[in-house]
Amino acid sequence: MSQVRAIIGLGNPGADYEATRHNAGAWLVEAVARHAGGELRPDRKFLGLHARVQFEGHDLHLLNPTTFMNRSGGAVAALCQFYKLAPEELLVAHDELDLPPGNARYKTGGGHGGHNGLRDTISALGNARGFHRLRIGIGHPGDSRQVTPYVLGRPGKAEHTAIEAAIDECLATLPDALDGQWARAMNRLHSFKP
């Protein structure tokens, strides 16, 4: 299995969106940058905020696209082309409706599950689906017609605390994932309860 060389956090740009549920993937990348003592800076060639950091002995690219969610793929493709990254070397962090807040799961490959950021990323990578994902639970509003306002809304205090706890647990399991110890990383993360 390929070594992860880049972590991409999906979200929407700007102050209006930074605290919304749809930006949970971007929150994870921001947390990795803080942990590694790095700073995400605007980089036009990658259509996003980029940093190169050392995280637990691994040289990593961090990227939060600053295109809107449904245009995330252009930023991902630009990073891959510039640094010659294969899809299998990516870990894409994103919000996940099908998991409650406080839960997170690793996954490799698969479809987009209706997630517009994943849909555009798969398309921009030439329909390659073999990248790793880090699914950060935000819960579901219970009615499919409410999904858009829900993901673009801010989580309540308890919900936000649960998502933050899951992100902290993601950081704790990342070294195993980056070492290719996916089973160990999954066992720990998937059994976490906030």
What are the residue numbers of the active site?
A: 22
Dig out the tokens for 121 from the structure: 């990323």
How far is residue 61's CA from residue 52's CA, in Å, rounded to a whole number? 5
Question: Considering just the CA atoms, what is the radius of gyration of the chain in Å?
Answer: 15
Q: Could you tell me which of 66, 133, 140, 139 has the C-alpha nearest to residue 94?
A: 133
Q: CA torsion 123→155→6→103, rounded to 10°?
A: -100
Say if strands 104-108 and 48-55 run parallel, antiparallel, or are unpaired: unpaired
Dig out the tokens for 148 from the structure: 């858009």
How far is residue 12's CA from residue 107's CA, in Å, rounded to a whole number? 22
